[in-house]
Every structure is written in C-alpha cells, then in structure tokens.
Amino acid sequence: MMTSLKEYTMGDFWNQIMSAVAMAIVVAVTPSAIVGPLFQALATHGPLWSTLNTACNMATYTVPVLCGALAAGQFNFTMIEKVSVALATLLGSGAVNYSAKNGGTFTLVGMGDLINTILVTALAILAIFLIRDYVGSFAIIWDPIVTACIVGGIGMLMYPYVHLVSTTVGGMLNSFTKLQPVLMCTLLGMAFAVIIATPLSTVGLAYAFGITGIVGGASSVGTSACFLMVAYACSKVNGKGVVVAMVFGSVKMMLANFLKHPTMLIPIAITGALNGFTDSFIHVKNIAADAGFGIPVGPINAFTLMSGNIGTKLITIALIYFILPTFYGILAYYLCTHVFHFNKKEYWKVELNK
C-alpha cells in the first residue's frame, strides 16, 4: 500500500531513513567484519580463499545501493521507485569516482561519504513523493530520469562540500597527535569511540590522515571500546544475535537510536576515553589502514606489531581490547543509567523488524 509524504512527521521521516541506513551498513559490513580476517589470512592458499576474501571486501561497496533500496522500502515504495532511489544514492554517495584520464575510468572508492548518502537518499525519496501523482504509468521512465539525472547530479555537486565535514573532523583528530601521550591517547580513544557511532567513517579518517603507531593503537582501542560498551547495553534489551553483531562492529545499526537519544553517546565517550587513557601506558600500535577498525581487525593487526613472547602479547591484547573496555563499559552504563539517569535501558532496543 503506497503512502503519502503527509503521513510522516519530520521526526518519523528521518527515523525511517536512519533505520534503513543503519541496517544497510550492518548487512554490507558484517561479512568483512566477522569472517574477513579469516579469509584474508587464507587468501594466499588458493583461488577459492582469494575469491571469498574478495567477495567479503566487495560487500562493503554496496552500502549506498542498500541504503537507497531499504530506505525506499520504509515508505512502501513500488519496485521502480525503490530501484530509482537506490540509483540516485549510488550516484550521489561519492562511492564511484570518475577520472577523465585514459579514456575515462570509473573507480569504486569504498562506501562513499555516509552523510552525503543520507542526504541524497532523503532528496530522492522526497522527489518520488513530489512527482508520483503526475507521472502515473510513466513512472518507469520518469522516476529513474529524475532520481539519476537530477537528484544524483545534485548529490555529486554536494559531495565536495558535505565531505568537508569529514575532513574538518579529521583535521581536529590530527591535531590531537601533537599532544603529550596521555592526553593524546585519551582524546583519540574518546573521539574514535564516538565517531564510529555516527555516520562518519573512522576507517576513512584514520587512513586519510595517516594515524599510525601509538596514535593508531589509541584510535583502534577506542573503537573497540565503543563496540563492547554498546554490546553490553544492548544485552539488556536485545537478543544474542544483536549483541554479537555489536561486538563485531555493527554499532551503526543504532544510528536511529543515537539520533533520537544523543545522550547515549555519553557512556560511549566515557568508555573510549578510559580505554584510551589506559592505552597511553600500554602503547598498543596500529597502522593507518587498520587504526579505524575495532574488533576483530584492530587486535589482530596490533598483535602482529607487538614485541615480546606470544603469551605476553595475548595477555596485553585481551586486556586492552576486551577485558578493560568491557569493565569500563559496564561502569559507564551503570553511571549514566542508574546514577545520573542520562539514559534508559529501553534506548538501546534495536527494532529489527521495522
């Protein structure tokens, strides 16, 4: 049953989109987050493993298309309307880069800018609502033309300016690296814990600004701290599957929740800051390509950069990536929920069936 734009309040409209975007990210990122490291390790042992590793990595490139399709589904769009929105989202996301050199080439550059993806998705949905009553049976012609040529084109023009948000945040993070170690690790741990819970990409920021070494380690442990804090909070009101997904990095599934209740970011920030502070004495390291990752990529790569015997390395990894952030997360959750009453446990409920 088709709906009209008048049926949705501003809050409902954005909540529907954010829920769809969150689920799209979870679906696209889960393969590489959970089994990606295994296939990557086995990739050199035969074409089968190499192909499976490639498939896991390629899944993340589908985020813009999935965002558009799922968001359109939230508004009960028809099939042609759904794929038209998905088309606009891909074009305007920044995930495909065109170069006029060598006869013109198109290159996939990751999931694009998620903020721009969200804005283009919203514009495409609005466009469909506006033209629906006028195109009638010609929707199969006009819907893709309007969404691709107009909305997609607007998204491409918007992209450089919207992407400034990411580069500005990245510049701020880069300034943290010039501080003394304890303050630097504390701020980076807190910043990355919060950023991973927003539409911004910690992976893209870490890689773009060359956040490596001890700085990369602090970023990675902050990201992991967010995963475990959110997993603990979610365990109070969700099933085991959601909890496991959070441990392995699906916190963007909570985007709609964070939008409705921004105070949920407070315990995340506290957990990230405490874990970053602790890491300033442990000095875990990571390279720029992995600094924005949490569990399991972060600890795996941090392990390879450590010196010492295997036992010591395993204990250190377990301590900074699993044991301490879990303890800090429980503490932050208790303080924010039961002492200061910033949050309620119901805030962490994930509605998978919407």
pLDDT at residue 317, rounded to an integer: 95
Task: Give residue 230's pLDDT band: very low, low, confident or very high (50, 70, 90).
Answer: very high
pLDDT at residue 295, rounded to an integer: 86
- What digits encode the pLDDT tens for the residues 300-351? 889 988 988 999 999 999 999 999 999 999 999 999 999 999 999 999 998 7
pLDDT at residue 168, rounded to an integer: 86
98 DSSP β-pair partners:
106
- What digits encode the pLDDT tens for the residues 14-57? 888 988 887 887 788 778 767 877 888 888 898 999 999 899 88
**pTM, entire model:** 0.78
Report yes or no: 28 and 114 within 8 Å, Cβ to Cβ: no
Report yes or no: 222 and 190 within 8 Å, Cβ to Cβ: yes
Q: Is the pLDDT of residue 210 over 80?
A: no
Q: What is the mean pLDDT of the chain?
A: 89
User: Residue range 114-139: average pLDDT?
Assistant: 93
pLDDT at residue 97, rounded to an integer: 82
pLDDT at residue 148, rounded to an integer: 94
pLDDT at residue 1, rounded to an integer: 61
Task: Give residue 354's pLDDT band: very low, low, confident or very high (50, 70, 90).
Answer: low
Q: Which two tokens stand for residue 250?
A: 């699906």
Q: Which residue bears the tokens 């600890």?
A: 299
pLDDT at residue 313, rounded to an integer: 94
Distances (CA, A) of 203 to 236, 242, 248: 29, 22, 15
